[in-house]
Structure 1
Amino acid sequence: MPDALIGKTIGGFLIQERLGQGAMATVYKAFESSINRYVAMKIIKLDETQQDEFKQRFAREAEVIAKLEHIHILPIYAYGLDDELAYLAMRWLKGGSLSDLLKHDRIPLERTANIFSQVAQGLAFAHSKGIIHRDLKPSNIMLDDTGNAYLTDFGLAKLTESSGEITRSGTIVGTPAYMSPEQLRGEPLDHRSDIYSLGVILYNMVAGRLPFDTTTSDLVSIIYQHLEKAPTPPSEFNKETPKAVEAVILKALQKDRKDRYDSATDMARALNIAVGLPAGSSTNLKPAKIIDIHGLDEPSLSTISLIRKRRWAFMTGGVGLVALILIIAGVIIQNNNLVATNLNATVTASAGNLSSTLTASAANQSLTATAQTAKQGTILVGKTGEAGDIVPTLDQISTAIKNMGSNGFLAYIACTQDSEFHAGMARELADLAKTYGMPYKLYDSEADSYREISQFDNARAQGAAAMIVCPLDVKLLADGISAANKADVPLVFQATNLKDTHGVMVGGGNYLLGELPGQFAGSIVRDEMHGQAQVIILDYPDMADLVERANGLEDGLKKFAPKATVVGRYTGGTRELGKASVEKLLKDGVKFNFVLSINDAGSFGAIDAMEEAGIDPSTVTIVSIDAEALAQEYIRKGYFIRGSVQSAREELADAMFDAVVDLLSGVDVPESINVPPKTIITKEVLEQRDKLTLTPKP
């Protein structure tokens, strides 16, 4: 049947094509000729009985919804009334909806967590403005052509209600399969009703179906299940569902709203933790996490080749491990075992614990040495070396593992796991340890310098044979460091400029790491702001490395924009601290239009504070360090962040691991190892990368 609206112009938009039909509205593709763009236009047809009431509420409610400016909320360009029609014009996205995505297959867990985190960010922002969605479902989560998620239809269910009751003319306003028990009962709602709906959506993404049977058309049956029946655990439909993920879903689906997550942000953090991703913006949900490599799958030859290819690139210009061994040792591959004819190199796997143990020895090498008799390599105090100078040989790796003893392991004392950089660092080290059969445990300090003391001591007490440490406050660790030195436990620090630690320091030259983005910021101030800007710097005064990085930021800024005013330095380093500092500045009426941050985590906290305060993203510019995925997304869209320096995380992990191996195998190592930073990521850089990716190879 022809659609009478196609070809008509409504509110300056030419209706061209019907995209979809919902219970309350029809979506069209329309063209706005005045600015030459396509939009998605949602049109609601009003019946005579509701026109007067609806028109009175529509302008008020639509105006509030249209002011929801967030990177993960689909923007509304225009709204209005045209005779018996009400319309909302929104950005047109080409990626379809989450509903479309769910029709194909189950979504991988990491992708699920990524989409969910973006949705939760947008929803949490709306909740902070006192707005409840009321009709969350996969079809109201839109995707752009790069896969980013956007919430839409905020308040539409409320707009089409007549009196806040569940039913009108015998039907439910909203989508019963995703509605909370209190919404189905017609009770007053708060933001936790949306949390329940999020739980249903997440269940659908993980299990590939809804938590309750919706095959029946009996409305009473659907309502009854939501009100009274416990959902079937999603693992019964998807056996690969981790128990921790299942627990997140079932908590969100509690009948009593008091038993659900208190916010969408908390739920997203819990999901990220369950999946093994960075928690995001909080440390208080993160449990102590100890990952033992024993019990993980044996690495394949291809895995070893892939990782070693990167590491040996320092020496060979990209020649992978397999080629290198073939050249040096003459390897024969038999039944997935490596048999080296000249070096007696073998890769063996213990069926009992599934961890691989790599051993390599020359013909005259003794295999009976123990950790108690092994000699640790010497730290060359005052000497500086490059990462490429300390790459170990296979013999050294074998000797290092042997010298750890039967119960020894490599401990990584992490600053936190709540940023992409730090969580990624832990994964890099775990991958390296797994590949070479080195037992490994992660100790999360949760950005708490006093907790780090106990984590350090716990690692030593549990038998750590070597330790990599991200120090929050090295002074507080002094006693533990001294005890480790006396016990001849090799220490490698994810830091530079430490004193009297008797350990190897690995870093990228923090002043330079700060100076590069500082100069980029200075060029923006000079070229776009007439050389004038009110700048705040988010630093972390407890760590000398990060203070040096902040110094580089300030000096780089002043080099290109000497008249810029540095309002002050304020504590950042984590999302919570960055948010708290900027919240206080805004509350105190401090004026600023530029933020320099020592890392992306602090920048995200600043953005959280400014979003909640309703700050227009076009009025404040942020330049940062780490170039995390979320930062790159913001950079692409011009949302607060203009540039962020890409940290050399993989190279840093490699260098720290190599230093540990060298020390354990008796090889001397310079006190400082330099790992230079990478480039600064800007919108132009990302667009150029996209072009290169899309260009067909000949």
Structure 2
Amino acid sequence: MGRNSFTRVALTLGLALCAASAHAQSGAPGLTRPVVLKPFDAGAPACAKPPNLARVIAFAQDNDRQFMQGVARGLAAAAKDRNLEFRAAVAGNNSAKMAEDIRAFRREKVGAVIAAPIDSVSLAPELQDTIWSGSYVGTIVPPPATSLLNAPQYLTGKVLADVAAAYIRERLGGRARVVLLTHDTLQFLAPRFVAMRDVLRTLPGVTIVADISPLTVNEQGGAEMMRTILLANPDVDVVLGADTVVLGALDALRQAGKARDNQFLGGIDGEPRAIEEIKKNGPYKASVSLSSPVFSYAMGQHAADWLDGKSIPQAMDILPVALTAKTMSSYEKDQADPAAVYRDAARRDSYLKMYGNICYDTRDQYINFPWSSERR
């Protein structure tokens, strides 16, 4: 799960519970203490259908970036396949507008609301009221939700580091000078870089010449940090981090005449420019992506199941996928047809892992703590 998709909500994730507790309680508080959820049981008994709700899936969308456009596309496809209406309200990064959008959905008795929170603190009470009304509430990362999703951050970093390690062994003779452009100041994302260090530590010929967070997590920040690193370490073989900063590092390497096709630059996010660079077969070799159309199509299916009185997962892992020149075509095929992925259990399980069970009758068990499947 990349920075552009999840970092903002991570910054306020822990505060969401405070907002919920300050909100006048008109229903159950949900699960407020961390629990380990069992694997999802697709054969769990059905329960009552939520009464008096419109068969509508509504998306409270933070902005129009490509990742969120993919979320909207997957939700719309699921709604169409289940004969539901789909609506999207784009908040334009305005948290007050998003809260009002969700209040409007609730007044209209919308049966399912999916939110990509801008400010999880202010939005938590609105989501909680929507849960108490009986609607399905799905969120991208923060609680509260009847069904939320997250990316296992350690695994995300490990997937990228494993691809880099294989390249170092096979193409660089086991020796490499490595730069890690980190986000260690963001606790939510720090496990990614713990995983990278753990993997690289297994290669005795690897030297980490820089392990540092850029001042700004964007292409400019990555470029400025890389220029500084090159002053002391002019020859770099591997650069790892989020796509946006690694793309900036690539620009700095090119400007300094230090970019080589046998380098390994790899990032996390599946940014469009990173994908373009991978297809060029140059220094950029991999990007770890989280398929938004696939996971949102699953959320749309679960929303429809909820309205039909079925038991659905309480939480989902979005599993990281390593995009390389070899895997790109199959990934792009899956992105284009998330319904086909969902219908194929093996393909679906390569993208998603589901946990817990909840339905209308057990909605008091909604997740109201910052959930992760990883115990690190």
User: TM class by shorter-chain length?
Assistant: 0.5 to 0.7
* Structure 1 position 615, deviation (Å): 4.7
- Relative distance call for 1:614 and 1:462 in structure 2 (3 A) is farther
Distance 1:432 1:440 in 2: 9
Confirm whether residue 469 of structure 1 aligns to residue 115 of structure 2.
yes
**1:434 is matched with which residue?**
80
* Structure 1 position 561, deviation (Å): 5.5
Distance 2:208 2:283 in 1: 19
> How do residues 27-176 of structure 1 correspond to structure 2 at under 5 angstroms?
none
Q: Given that residues 59 and 87 in structure 2 are in contact (C-alpha distance below 8 angstroms), is that contact kept between their aligned partners in structure 1?
A: yes
Confirm whether residue 514 of structure 1 aligns to residue 161 of structure 2.
no
Confirm whether residue 581 of structure 1 aligns to residue 221 of structure 2.
yes
* Structure 1 position 431, deviation (Å): 1.9
Distance 1:559 1:404 in 2: 55
> How do residues 310-321 of structure 1 correspond to structure 2 at under 5 angstroms?
none
**1:410 is matched with which residue?**
58
Deviations 1:145-174 (A, max 9, x none): xxxxxxxxxxxxxxxxxxxxxxxxxxxxxx
- Relative distance call for 1:601 and 1:587 in structure 2 (3 A) is closer
1:486 to 129, 135, 145: 129
* Structure 1 position 379, deviation (Å): 7.5
* Structure 1 position 518, deviation (Å): 0.8
**2:299 is matched with which residue?**
656
* Structure 1 position 405, deviation (Å): 3.1
Q: What amino acid is aligned across from residue 325 of structure 2 in structure 1?
A: K
Q: Given that residues 490 and 663 in structure 1 are in contact (C-alpha distance below 8 angstroms), is that contact kept between their aligned partners in structure 2?
A: yes
1:389 to 31, 39, 42: 42
Distance 2:104 2:273 in 1: 36
**1:30 is matched with which residue?**
none
- Relative distance call for 1:452 and 1:643 in structure 2 (3 A) is same
Confirm whether residue 523 of structure 1 aligns to residue 166 of structure 2.
yes
* Structure 1 position 684, deviation (Å): 4.4
- Relative distance call for 1:657 and 1:522 in structure 2 (3 A) is same
Q: What amino acid is aligned across from residue 297 of structure 2 in structure 1?
A: D
Q: Given that residues 99 and 122 in structure 2 are in contact (C-alpha distance below 8 angstroms), is that contact kept between their aligned partners in structure 1?
A: no
Indicate the SS of the match to 2:148.
strand
Q: What amino acid is aligned across from residue 525 of structure 1 in structure 2?
A: I
Distance 1:540 1:657 in 2: 33
Indicate the SS of the match to 1:486.
helix
Distance 1:424 1:626 in 2: 13
TM-score (norm 2): 0.60
Indicate the SS of the match to 1:565.
strand
Q: What amino acid is aligned across from residue 389 of structure 1 in structure 2?
A: A
* Structure 1 position 457, deviation (Å): 0.9
* Structure 1 position 652, deviation (Å): 1.4
> How do residues 278-317 of structure 1 correspond to structure 2 at under 5 angstroms?
none
Distance 1:686 1:484 in 2: 37
**1:556 is matched with which residue?**
199
* Structure 1 position 627, deviation (Å): 4.8
- Relative distance call for 1:564 and 1:504 in structure 2 (3 A) is farther
- Relative distance call for 1:392 and 1:647 in structure 2 (3 A) is farther
* Structure 1 position 643, deviation (Å): 2.1
**1:532 is matched with which residue?**
176
* Structure 1 position 542, deviation (Å): 4.8
Distance 2:298 2:38 in 1: 11
Q: Given that residues 238 and 263 in structure 2 are in contact (C-alpha distance below 8 angstroms), is that contact kept between their aligned partners in structure 1?
A: yes
> How do residues 197-596 of structure 1 correspond to structure 2 at under 5 angstroms?
382-384=35-37, 389=42, 403-405=52-54, 409-414=57-62, 416-419=63-66, 421-444=67-90, 451=93, 453-464=95-106, 465=110, 466-471=112-117, 476-487=119-130, 488=132, 490-495=136-141, 501-527=144-170, 528=172, 530-539=174-183, 542=186, 544=188, 546-560=189-203, 563-565=206-208, 567-570=210-213, 577-590=217-230, 591=233, 592-596=236-240
Indicate the SS of the match to 2:213.
strand
- Relative distance call for 1:650 and 1:427 in structure 2 (3 A) is closer
Deviations 1:544-599 (A, max 9, x none): 2x433343333333334674316224359xxx94312112214535545422134x
Structure whose alpha-carbon radius of gyration is higher: 1
> How do residues 663-674 of structure 1 correspond to structure 2 at under 5 angstroms?
663-674=306-317
* Structure 1 position 485, deviation (Å): 0.7
Distance 2:278 2:224 in 1: 25
- Relative distance call for 1:535 and 1:595 in structure 2 (3 A) is same
* Structure 1 position 515, deviation (Å): 0.7
* Structure 1 position 686, deviation (Å): 5.8
- Relative distance call for 1:681 and 1:444 in structure 2 (3 A) is same
Aligned length: 292
Q: What amino acid is aligned across from residue 384 of structure 1 in structure 2?
A: L
Distance 2:209 2:94 in 1: 33
What are structure 1's unaligned runs of at least 5 residues? 1-279, 281-374, 690-698
Q: Given that residues 241 and 267 in structure 2 are in contact (C-alpha distance below 8 angstroms), is that contact kept between their aligned partners in structure 1?
A: yes
Deviations 1:639-663 (A, max 9, x none): 2211234534443123322343344
**1:682 is matched with which residue?**
324
Indicate the SS of the match to 2:303.
helix
* Structure 1 position 516, deviation (Å): 1.6
Distance 2:158 2:273 in 1: 22
Distance 2:329 2:86 in 1: 39
Q: Given that residues 117 and 140 in structure 2 are in contact (C-alpha distance below 8 angstroms), is that contact kept between their aligned partners in structure 1?
A: yes
* Structure 1 position 536, deviation (Å): 2.1
- Relative distance call for 1:484 and 1:530 in structure 2 (3 A) is closer
Deviations 1:37-69 (A, max 9, x none): xxxxxxxxxxxxxxxxxxxxxxxxxxxxxxxxx
Deviations 1:442-486 (A, max 9, x none): 34566xxxx3523431321322544323346xxx42232123213
* Structure 1 position 609, deviation (Å): 5.1
Q: Given that residues 409 and 441 in structure 1 are in contact (C-alpha distance below 8 angstroms), is that contact kept between their aligned partners in structure 2?
A: yes
Q: What amino acid is aligned across from residue 65 of structure 2 in structure 1?
A: D
TM-score (norm 1): 0.35
- Relative distance call for 1:409 and 1:455 in structure 2 (3 A) is farther
Q: Given that residues 45 and 310 in structure 2 are in contact (C-alpha distance below 8 angstroms), is that contact kept between their aligned partners in structure 1?
A: no
Distance 2:316 2:144 in 1: 15
Q: What amino acid is aligned across from residue 224 of structure 2 in structure 1?
A: K
**2:259 is matched with which residue?**
616
CA RMSD of aligned residues (A): 4.3
Q: What amino acid is aligned across from residue 177 of structure 2 in structure 1?
A: A
* Structure 1 position 514, deviation (Å): 2.0
Distance 1:391 1:602 in 2: 44
Kindly indicate whether structure 1 or structure 2 has the higher relative contact order, using CA contacts under 8 Å at least 6 residues apart.
Answer: 2
Deviations 1:160-202 (A, max 9, x none): xxxxxxxxxxxxxxxxxxxxxxxxxxxxxxxxxxxxxxxxxxx
What are structure 2's unaligned runs of at least 5 residues? 5-26, 332-376
- Relative distance call for 1:560 and 1:404 in structure 2 (3 A) is farther
